[in-house]
Amino acid sequence: MTDVLVTTTEQIPGKQYEIIGEVFGLTTQSKNVIKNIGAGLKSVVGGEIKSFTELMTETRDTSVARLKANAAELGADAVVMMRYDTDSISEGMETVTAYGTAVKFIS
C-alpha cells in the first residue's frame, strides 16, 4: 500500500498544495453461492448478514487501495475530498468506487 494521505476534507491543516487531478479506485466483488444462500435464509429471520458486511468492507478497502495507487502513479502526496459511490449489480455482487482529488504538497 502507498503512503498517500486520504481525507474527506477539502483542506489539510498546515499544508499547502497544488491540484493534480481526479483519481479513482474501483472494484466489483461477489461472495460465493454458499454464502449467498446463507444470506437469503438470514433475510427471512432478520438481523445482520455478516457475509454481506464482509463483502462491503472488502470492496471498500480494495477501492481505497486502488485510489491510493492511482494517486501515487500521478505523483500525488494526498487525496482530498474523497467520497464513495456504491451500487448493487445483482444479488450478492457489489461495486464500490472511491474518488477524490489528487494533490501535491508545496514545500
Contact by Cβ (8 Å): 27, 96:
yes
**pLDDT reported for residue 35:** 54
pLDDT tens string 66-91: 999 999 999 999 999 999 998 887 76
Q: What's the CATH number where 99 sits?
A: 3.30.110.70
Average pLDDT over residues 54-64: 90
Residue 20 located in a structural domain: yes
| Count of structural domains, the chain | 1
**CB distance 70 to 37 below 8 Å:** no
* Residue 15 lies in domain: 5-30+57-105
38: pLDDT confidence band, cut at 50, 70 and 90? low
Q: Does the structure show a pLDDT above 70 at 44?
A: no
Q: Is the pLDDT assigned to residue 5 strictly greater than 70?
A: yes
Which residue do the cell numbers 474527506 mark? 8
Euclidean distance between CA atoms 15 and 58, whole angstroms? 31
The pTM of the full predicted model, rounded to 2 decimals, is 0.80
